[in-house]
Amino acid sequence: MLNIVILAAGLGKRMQSDLPKVLHTLAGRPMLSHVLDTARQLSPDRIVVVVGHGAERVRAAFAGQSDLEFVLQDPQQGTGHAVQQAVPRLLETPDGRDATLVLYGDVPLVQADTLSRLLGARGAGMAVLTEELADPAGYGRIVRDAAGRVARIVEHKDASERELRINEVNTGILAAPTALLREWLSRIDNRNAQGEYYLTDIIGLSVGDGVPVNAAHPHARWETMGVNSRLQQAQLEREWQAEQARRLLHMGVAIADPARFDLRGSLVCGRDVFIDVGCVFEGRVALADGVRIGPHCVIKDTSVGPGTQVDAFSHLSDAVVADQARIGPYARLRPGADIGSHAHVGNFVEIKKSRLGAGSKANHLSYIGDAQIGERVNIGAGTITCNYDGVNKFGTIIEDDAFIGSDTQLVAPVKVGRGATLGAGTTLTRDAPADQLTLSRPPQKSVPGWVRPLKKS
């Protein structure tokens, strides 16, 4: 049986923000969300989140997640005191074959395989996650005995000169038998430089009780980097983006510059995908074989079919794009846009809640909303579907092989028949019959003898 306790009560003074620290984002999501995702990969029996500053905002941010239990730490008197608040909610088994893992809401990137190794290293006792740092300033030091076993952890402010020279540091993440953790927490005190109850004091109690303390180590330094300031937040953001880019590169995705790449969700790529500089991917994005994404595109919750090219500065959100299509530059696909095979959506074209059929083209300066457009349709420059009367939305239907001239307004609800042609400048208020030319322009006329007005003196 596995309990996971996540400490998320801190104020984060150095963030200079009214937002609780664990709700500040990394890769587009609250830091606490990252920790919870990792925790769930371990299939725990209980997750307890200890909240404090901004407790109601933290609870509200994760409302509806039924596998979470929240407990309040008020006042905040250290990490040991925080875990004490969670103890009444922890599950135990009669045979003692259970463990409690302690994580931190502001250490968002620890990986599930690292935590699995930590739990495995526990053996019959407890385990701490440690690492070697060239500059360990500010971290609690791992003090080992003559045999090299973990003996205790001393906080930086309480360390002697000799202890300050130790480079192995405590990350704060640990796993312990639940019953023993409960008992050790009842014995710690706050006689230290900060007047707080340190969770790390249970290490010395464990050793004193003859319970072995083992150590495990993360694969990468960024896994245990915490966030206490805007600077650290920005630094960790770049570390994580570089790691995500590295993983994609190893999978064969071509990224023009990994330093100018941002993934704020999940990205699934086929073979021979190319991503240019400055692109941002949010939510769930899938790029099929041979997709090319031009520079400075933003793509969110969208799937892009094989061989499609998305040109520079295009924004795609909640859209579906089929194979061999061409999007952009400067195109915007809004939620519900469904772009067919070999279709073209050009510069400054916006499509919302509409289907653009196979081989159809809207290449210039158009708005298409709440429309069903068939195959091989040409949408001329400046075409607008007038789909909103200020209260209600109405649909437009354009059947296969229609030709819509430039500067046309389609006042919905309206239908353009198969093979119909609308002359440039038409304002269509009634259905246009199939295979006919429909015009609504007034006759052109010239006024003889007309003189431009002159400026009065």
Inter-CA distances, 1 with 6, 36, 97, 391, 393, Å: 17, 18, 7, 55, 54
Contacts 24+ apart (CB under 8 A), 286-290: 288/323
pLDDT-wise least confident of 209-218, 252-261, 292-301 = 209-218
| Helix, strand and coil percent figures for the chain, each rounded to 5 | 20, 30, 45
Residue found by looking up tokens 């587009």 in the block: 28
Rounded Cα–Cα distance for residues 202 and 332 (Å): 56
pLDDT of res. 261: 97
Which sign, positive or negative, has the C-alpha torsion 134, 140, 144, 148? Answer: negative
pLDDT of res. 149: 86
Helix, strand or coil, per DSSP, at residue 202: helix
401-423: buried (b, 16+ CB within 10 Å) or exposed (e) per residue? Answer: bbbbbbbbbbbbebbbbeebbbb
pLDDT of res. 364: 96
pLDDT of res. 148: 87
Residue-averaged pLDDT of the chain:
96
Helix, strand or coil, per DSSP, at residue 80: helix
Residue 238, token pair as written in the block: 């770049």
* Pairing state between β 315-317 and 332-333: parallel
Residues 6+ apart with CB under 8 A from 201: 80, 153, 184, 188, 189
Average pLDDT over residues 198-223: 93
Q: Is 259 left (phi over 0), alpha (psi -120 to 50) or beta?
A: alpha
Query: What are the tens digits of pLDDT across the range 427-443?
Result: 999 999 999 999 998 88
Residue 217 is among the residues annotated as catalytic for this protein: no
pLDDT of res. 340: 98
Query: Of residues 156, 217, 296, 364, which has the active-site annotation?
Result: 364
Instruction: Report all structural domains of the chain as residue ranges with CATH numbers, in order of start.
Output: 2-224 (3.90.550.10), 230-438 (2.160.10.10)
Rounded Cα–Cα distance for residues 392 and 236 (Å): 46
50 close to 9: Cβ distance less than 8 angstroms: yes
Query: What are the tens digits of pLDDT across the range 347-372?
Result: 999 999 999 999 999 999 999 999 99
pLDDT of res. 238: 97
Residue 75 has pLDDT above 80, yes or no: yes
- Give residue 388's pLDDT band: very low, low, confident or very high (50, 70, 90): very high
430 close to 407: Cβ distance less than 8 angstroms: no
pLDDT of res. 113: 97
Query: What are the tens digits of pLDDT across the range 233-264?
Result: 999 999 999 999 999 999 999 999 999 999 99
Rounded Cα–Cα distance for residues 248 and 295 (Å): 17
Of the candidates 173, 130, 137, the one whose C-alpha atom is nearest the C-alpha of residue 155 is 137
Query: What are the tens digits of pLDDT across the range 86-134?
Result: 999 999 988 878 999 999 999 999 999 999 999 999 988 999 999 999 9
Residue 381, token pair as written in the block: 């420059």
Helix, strand or coil, per DSSP, at residue 88: helix
pLDDT of res. 123: 87
Residue 11 has pLDDT above 90, yes or no: no
pLDDT of res. 299: 98
Inter-CA distances, 301 with 26, 282, 316, Å: 18, 7, 8
